[in-house]
Amino acid sequence: MKFSGLTTIEEKTQLTDRIFALQLSCPEIASIAKPGQFVQLKLTDHDAHLWPRPFSIHQAKDGIIKLTIKICGAITNKLSRLNKGDNVHITGPLGSRFNIPTQWKPVYLVAGGVGLPPLHFLCETMLNNGCPAKYIHFLSGARCSDELFADREIKSLGVNYILTTDDGSAGIKGFITKPLDEKIAEFKNADTNQKPIIYGCGPIPMLKKVAAICSGFECYVSLEQLMPCGWGVCNGCAVKIVNSNNTVVEDERGFRLARVCKEGPVFKSSEILWE
């Protein structure tokens, strides 16, 4: 059941120069939201752009939805100017969720930049469901130390944590896919039931690399895509899905189009036709 209506900002926190968090009072969404799902936000100003904007759910508990937002354009800039007590229009929860294992095994969460929030939500959910912290490996990459916004929170969870920055200003210097490659290589010859599950969210080039590294493993990715409607109507967020014997394709090109807002944003990495 989706909720669509006004919600009040209970708290706003400036995390970095360009990243901020909004805590929104919305028990209708908080009570049913699952890791991987998202909401659509729309400014109440009628002069604002027509389409709402999608944001992954960072946390959902006690009637509060937490969203972590990076200022990237006109709408996110306007959202950053809102304060406690202001209203925004929200719709959700929308989209698919991450598949959580029923039996615990090693888990690798691979986050790039502001792709971290849904994985943080997933990590907390797994821990709350009884997953031992030693099984969870959280790999987080950022451009520089100034863009870190959840470092202390992840460390406080007690999971295995690897941090990289492109410029080496914090953690390991380089892309997060390098330590992932090293870790996954350790499982190449492992039995199927011993192989880890990998979850990723971040820029498309990063996810493409994650998919290549994790080929042959159970791997899920959450796509960051502009979703004009969020309801599967406009097809503006469609991505190409690899054809299989059990799927219907539009034509002889051998792939079908999947709406990220409806069938996603979570997909198996092997399903995506990476280009």
Q: What is the mean pLDDT of each run of 10 residues along the chain (275 residues)?
A: 94 96 98 97 74 93 97 92 96 95 93 97 97 97 95 96 97 97 91 89 96 96 82 82 64 78 94 90
Q: Which residue has the tokens 């907390």?
A: 124
What DSSP string describes 160-210? Answer: EEEEEETTSSSSEES-THHHHHHHHHTTTTS-GGGS-EEEEEE-HHHHHHH
pTM, two decimal places = 0.93
* Residue 227 backbone phi and psi in degrees, to 5: -120, 90
Q: Using CA atoms, how far apart are residues 32 and 102, in angstroms rounded to an integer?
A: 19
| pLDDT of the residue at 124 | 97
- Six-digit token pair at 116? 């971290």
| pLDDT of the residue at 227 | 76
Q: Using CA atoms, how far apart are residues 55 and 70, in angstroms rounded to an integer?
A: 10
Q: Which residue has the tokens 């979703």?
A: 227
CA dihedral 224, 201, 187, 166 (to 10 degrees): 110
Closest CA to 131 of 178, 76, 196, 79: 196
Q: Are strands 160-165 and 218-223 parallel, antiparallel or unpaired?
A: unpaired
- Which domains, from first to last, does the chain contain? 3-94 (2.40.30.10), 107-224 (3.40.50.80)
Cα-based angle 65, 69, 70 (whole degrees, multiple of 5): 175
Q: Which residue has the tokens 């299989």?
A: 244
Closest CA to 108 of 67, 150, 138: 138
Contact in structure between 51 and 102 (CB atoms under 8 Å): no
| pLDDT of the residue at 19 | 97
pLDDT in tens, 129-155: 999 999 999 999 999 999 999 999 999
Quickly count: other Cβ atoms within 10 Å of residue 234's Cβ. 14
Q: Which residue has the tokens 């809102």?
A: 82
Q: Using CA atoms, how far apart are residues 4 and 40, in angstroms rounded to an integer?
A: 9
Contact in structure between 211 and 269 (CB atoms under 8 Å): yes
Contact in structure between 67 and 117 (CB atoms under 8 Å): yes
CA dihedral 178, 183, 186, 190 (to 10 degrees): -120
| pLDDT of the residue at 87 | 96
